[in-house]
Amino acid sequence: MNREPLSTTVPFTVACTGIATFACMDALMKGLAIDMGAYNALLWRTSISLLLAALLFFRKTTRWPRLGVIQLHVWRGVVTSLMAFLFFWGLAYVPLAEAIGLSFIAPLIALYLAMALLKERIGRAAILASLIGFAGAMTIIGGRWSGAYSEDVGRGIAAILMSAVLYAYNLILQRQQALLAKPVEIAFFQNATMLVVYLCAAPFFALVPAWAQLPSLAGAAILGMVSLLLLSWAYARAEARILIPVEYTAFIWAALFGWLVFDETVTLATLCGTALIVIACLVAARQKPGPVDHVEATAV
């Protein structure tokens, strides 16, 4: 059933909260990737996330989704598996704020993928918001670029850029999923698919985590789950062109957590770039909403 959303303010705010939660999870996962490797950090975090998602899914769900919807869930899970591994592998070698800044190529790509794949119209405000946000990201990256990267850091940057391309496609799949399924269903199938993918390599790379690592793994799983639910809810109630610029706020949180947890410096370029990112999001938030099709009105 078609309906006209009352306002983009609520989904925009929810999406911002989801991004902040995700950035906090990134900080935990960076530490875990350094301690136990990106593969094991993702394997065990996904295992815990699947348990949480299964408890929610089977408590609230009375019927299984259609085959076509399951296929979409599985496809996004495969894409997310590769995207996440590349990002967290690179994150072990690259500062948190810089990694997030590099990933900002994704929303810019996704904005135009939304036009090609979702047939969404790209208005002047959306284009302006994406360009301002991207300029902010480039300002931050340019301020941090020293030219003194090691070979490992160079590989980390390449992995993050490849992850960003997959993330752009992931944003489009997220929008398509949100129009067909509830957030809990999305979380369950995504984590189930990711775990199956990671288990394929378990005989060769899996290691049992230390007891001291379990709180961080559990915290990362919970934060990732909350973020996924919030973003799925928001993308079901606002067009991708409106919410995609929200991704740029991740740098604000990455700079904060990088400073607090990893003692990474926040530079003047970071502050100037962040200001541009905030302006971009304000421009995006002032867009007029379009109709949203097949939206589940039940909140999680």
Provide the 8-state DSSP code for 221. H
> What are the Cα distances from residue 121, in Å, to 112, 115, 166, 277, 286?
9, 6, 22, 22, 16
Residue range 130-182, pLDDT digits in tens: 788 778 777 766 665 555 556 777 788 889 888 988 888 887 787 777 778 88
Separation between Cα atoms, residue 138 and residue 148, nearest integer Å = 18
- pLDDT for residue 68: 87
Provide the percentage of residues in the chain whose pLDDT is more than 70: 81
Q: How confident is the model at residue 37 (pLDDT cuts 50, 70, 90)?
A: very high
Q: What is the pTM of this model?
A: 0.76
- pLDDT for residue 282: 67
Domain ranges of the chain: 9-202+210-285
- pLDDT for residue 288: 55
Q: How confident is the model at residue 3 (pLDDT cuts 50, 70, 90)?
A: very low
- pLDDT for residue 80: 93
pLDDT > 50? residue 300: no
Is residue 234 within 8 Å of residue 14, measured between CB atoms?
Answer: yes
Q: How many residues does the chain have?
A: 300
Dihedral pair phi/psi, residue 292, rounded to 5°: -115, 125
Q: Give mean pLDDT, residues 59-82.
A: 87
| Burial group, residue 248, by CB count within 10 angstroms (0-12, 13-18, 19+) | buried
- pLDDT for residue 1: 41
Is residue 260 within 8 Å of residue 139, measured between CB atoms?
Answer: no
pLDDT > 80? residue 77: yes
Residue range 273-295, pLDDT digits in tens: 777 877 776 676 565 554 433 33
Which of 26-30, 103-107, 144-148, 222-226 is predicted with the least confidence, judged by mean pLDDT? Answer: 144-148
- pLDDT for residue 150: 65
- pLDDT for residue 76: 92
pLDDT > 90? residue 10: no
Query: What Rg do the C-alpha atoms of the chain give, in angstroms?
Result: 18
Residue range 226-267, pLDDT digits in tens: 888 888 788 777 776 677 778 778 888 888 888 888 887 777
pLDDT > 70? residue 271: yes
Residue range 181-205, pLDDT digits in tens: 887 888 899 999 999 999 999 999 9
Q: State the chain's mean pLDDT as an integer.
A: 80
- pLDDT for residue 298: 28
Q: 89 or 181: which carries more pLDDT confidence?
A: 89
- pLDDT for residue 237: 78
- pLDDT for residue 286: 60
Q: Give mean pLDDT, residues 198-220.
A: 93
- pLDDT for residue 218: 94
pLDDT > 60? residue 43: yes
State the alpha helices, DSSP H only, in 61-123.
Answer: 67-91, 96-103, 105-117
- pLDDT for residue 281: 66
